[in-house]
Structure 1
Amino acid sequence: MINSAPIGLFDSGIGGTSIWREIHTLLPSEDTIYLADSKNAPYGQKSKDEIIALSKKNTEFLLNQNAKLIVVACNTATTNAISELRARYDVPFIGIEPAIKPAAKSSETHTIGILATKGTLSSELFSQSVLNYPTTKIIEQVGFGLVQLIEEGKMNSTEMTNLLHNYLKPMVEANIDYLVLGCSHYPYLIPQIKKIIPKHIKIIDSGEAVARQTKNILSEMNLLNTQKKSSQIFYTNYNPMVLKSILKDKYQVIEKDF
């Protein structure tokens, strides 16, 4: 493996670009290849076997592009498939999980909310994580329909606003003081979420922590790229215009069937 090889990232669509942004900000010299499997979004409604199969397919695509490290920029894929990926492929993997720990440790009301996909909330890994915080009340909410609307470019639609009100109101009434976003698509909804929840409720996602972990692993393996220039390439298998709009046409987006 050479230092100039790219970091690979995949998600069930455009949401993982929120993770990519944090990595690119922290490691601007690194080449990245991002894979948006929007054709199969959302992963959160699929079976574990389907999620594992899609994650293997995405991994092999990125390995064929010589990725030196792969970021599973999808909570559902991480919680359902990352152990299988690590056992099968000889490349370091970094996953993304709901940031329960910092929320639970900092909560003064001992009540936190988690907005995530069905696939994440029903996973064994998530269930095990929750058991670590027996004194914290965790309000779980499946974000039915949110990923689909984001993938359709309808982030600011009336339908989105109505869904968010329905999902967040019970959490606010339960006296949460932290809201954990358990899907990499959801950080794009933060501006709308802030209009709905009281100002004292803090919002947490996993982007910065994933970026720091990526840097740490590359450093430990002596794989950091020290070149000044870098390339950022994005692949999607469905509706490239949505991905382009998220990236504001700054980067190369390639539509490819995979």
Structure 2
Amino acid sequence: MSKQPIGFFDSGVGGTSIWKEVISLLPHENSIYLADSRNAPYGEKSAEEILALSVKNTEKLLELHCKLIVVACNTATTNAIDFLRKTYPIPFIGIEPAIKPAALSSKSKTIGILATKGTLSSALFARTSSLYASDLNVIEVIGTGLVERIEKGLINTTETRELLQTYLDPMIAENMDYLVLGCSHYPYLIPILKELLPEEVQIIDSGRAVALQTRKILESNSLLNTSKEKGSHSLYTNASVETLVHLTQDVVSKKEVGYLDF
């Protein structure tokens, strides 16, 4: 079973930011990635819709014999992971906004969180925020429109920069020193964010922490691939492959990216 792939799913291409961290840390693991771009963004959908989509993606990855599933989507994690863990017999790794490290490190006691509506309104996010940031000034901003622009490959554009600036301005005005990215699409905006933010603002995303947790869970379940061969990867989207190819061409060849109806 150890040679079976790690499965990943997200509401589109953004979760490849998480996927890249995992396969970088675990180069011998095989992987399958599902970009549910046809249904992006999840952040504007109801909790019931998000759960149904998460179940659909999980069952497709199980059909493809995945040994562990990384829910590479903040919105899906915060709305569905408890159900997935109770329902299916394999381990699940979730991602959620990295509030804890930001809260523990903040000197100004003000942190910004840029996330989707679905993540910010979830019970899991409320619990985490209450646990680690109850004594901080937490500025929550919904990044409306950002996922759609990233899905279309419209990242380094004037319109995207202007939209980002409107979301950052209220956080900057409150003297935040940490910006938490609460959507796996958003790390692709980091180069622009660094240009728009004051130098002292630190940006935190969940990628490295998810990779470390994935390794830990594989080890504890005796699922780590002990092969010394480089892992093989298959990335699928149920929409246009163009953006998925573009965002992963630094890691995999075009032939490893394709269309799948799921």
Q: C-alpha displacement at 1:256, in angstroms?
A: 1.3
Matches for 1:95-114 after TM superposition, within 5 Å: 95-114=94-113
User: Which residue number in structure 1 is paired with residue 260 of structure 2?
Assistant: 256
The one-character-per-residue Cα deviations of 1:114-133 (angstroms, maximum 9, x if unpaired) are 00000000101111111112
Gaps of 5+ in 1: none
What secondary structure is seen at the aligned counterpart in 1 of 2:244? helix
Are positions 1:186 and 2:186 aligned together?
yes
The one-character-per-residue Cα deviations of 1:65-98 (angstroms, maximum 9, x if unpaired) are 1100000000000000001111111110000000
Q: TM-score, normalised by structure 2?
A: 0.97
Task: In structure 1, give the amino acid aligned to 2:27.
Answer: P
Mapped to 2, the partners of 1:247 and 1:220 lie a distance apart of 29
Q: C-alpha displacement at 1:110, in angstroms?
A: 0.5
What secondary structure is seen at the aligned counterpart in 2 of 1:13? coil
- CA-based RMSD: 0.8
What secondary structure is seen at the aligned counterpart in 2 of 1:234? strand
Gaps of 5+ in 2: none
Matches for 1:104-253 after TM superposition, within 5 Å: 104-132=103-131, 133-227=133-227, 228-248=229-249, 250-251=252-253, 252-253=256-257
Paired residues, what number? Answer: 257
Runs of 4+ in 1 over 2 A off after TM superposition: none
The one-character-per-residue Cα deviations of 1:7-63 (angstroms, maximum 9, x if unpaired) are 000000000000001001100000000000000000000000000000000000000
Mapped to 2, the partners of 1:127 and 1:237 lie a distance apart of 32
What secondary structure is seen at the aligned counterpart in 2 of 1:10? strand
Task: In structure 1, give the amino acid aligned to 2:214.
Answer: T
Q: C-alpha displacement at 1:156, in angstroms?
A: 1.1
Q: C-alpha displacement at 1:230, in angstroms?
A: 1.5
What secondary structure is seen at the aligned counterpart in 1 of 2:181? strand
Task: In structure 2, give the amino acid aligned to 1:225.
Answer: N
User: Which residue number in structure 2 is paired with residue 82 of structure 1?
Assistant: 81
User: Which residue number in structure 1 is paired with residue 8 of structure 2?
Assistant: 9
Between the aligned residues of both structures, percent identity stands at 59
What secondary structure is seen at the aligned counterpart in 1 of 2:175? coil
Mapped to 2, the partners of 1:51 and 1:243 lie a distance apart of 22
Q: C-alpha displacement at 1:229, in angstroms?
A: 2.6
Task: In structure 1, give the amino acid aligned to 2:114.
Answer: L
Q: C-alpha displacement at 1:157, in angstroms?
A: 1.6
